[in-house]
C-alpha cells in the first residue's frame, strides 16, 4: 500500500491537538505500560499497521515482554494479564467497537472496580485518542518503516 497524504504537513494545527493530548496522557498518572497495551490492542482491532508497529516498539522499550505482546490479540485466552489490565482491555475493545458493543454494563462494572474516577476518564481519553490516531493511520495508509 502507498501512503495517501502527509497529514502532518497538510494540517499541523490538527496534529498539534493530538500531540498535546498524547503529552497530557504521558503525564496524567496512567501507567505507561497499560496505556501501551490498550494502544496496541486498539490498533490491532482497527488494522493500523503503523500504530501497531510504533507502540509495540515503545512497549518493548518500556519493558513489556515479547510473550505478552505476542498474545495481546488473544488476551482473554491467556493468564499473562492481571485484573486491571483485563478491565482496561475490555473497556478499550468495547469503546473501539462501540456500534456493536454499546459499552455494556458488565464491562463498565469491571473497569469501575479497577479505576478511580480520574483514571477512568484518562483511560477513556487514551482509548478515544488512539482511535483518532488510527483514523489518520488507516485513512491515509501510513506505513511502518522497514527495519530489515
pLDDT tens sequence across 78-103? 999 999 999 999 999 999 999 999 99
Going 66 to 78 to 130 to 148, the CA torsion angle's sign is positive
Residue 146 CA to residue 130 CA, distance in Å, equals 22
What is the reported pTM? 0.94
CA count, 13 A, side-chain hemisphere, 7: 18
* b/e burial code for range 46-56 (CB count within 10 A of at least 16 → b): bebbbbbbbbb
Under 8 Å between Cβ of 94 and 109: no
Residue 22, C-alpha cell as written in the block:
498524547
Question: What is the pLDDT averaged over residues 11-35?
Answer: 95
User: What pLDDT sits at residue 1?
Assistant: 72
Question: What is the pLDDT averaged over residues 17-44?
Answer: 97
What is the dihedral angle through the alpha carbons of 20, 23, 27, 33, rounded to the nearest 10 degrees? 140
For the ranges 2-16, 45-59, 129-143, the lowest mean pLDDT is seen at 2-16
What domains lie within the chain, and their CATH numbers? 12-139 (1.20.1290.10)
Amino acid at each position: 500500500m502507498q501512503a495517501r497524504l502527509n497529514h502532518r504537513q497538510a494540517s499541523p494545527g490538527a496534529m498539534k491537538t493530538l500531540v498535546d493530548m498524547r503529552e497530557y496522557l504521558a503525564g496524567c498518572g496512567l501507567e505507561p505500560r497499560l496505556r501501551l497495551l490498550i494502544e496496541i490492542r486498539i490498533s490491532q482491532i482497527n488494522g493500523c499497521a503503523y500504530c501497531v508497529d510504533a507502540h509495540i516498539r515503545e512497549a518493548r522499550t518500556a519493558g513489556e515482554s515479547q510473550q505478552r505482546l505476542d498474545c495481546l490479540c488473544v488476551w482473554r485466552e491467556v493468564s499473562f494479564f492481571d485484573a486491571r489490565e483485563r478491565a482496561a482491555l475490555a473497556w478499550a475493545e468495547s469503546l473501539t467497537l462501540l456500534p456493536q458493543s454499546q459499552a455494556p454494563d458488565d464491562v463498565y462494572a469491571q473497569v469501575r472496580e479497577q479505576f478511580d474516577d480520574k483514571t477512568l476518564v484518562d483511560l477513556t481519553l487514551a482509548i478515544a485518542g488512539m482511535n483518532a490516531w488510527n483514523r489518520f493511520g488507516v485513512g491515509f495508509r501510513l506505513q511502518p518503516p522497514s527495519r530489515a
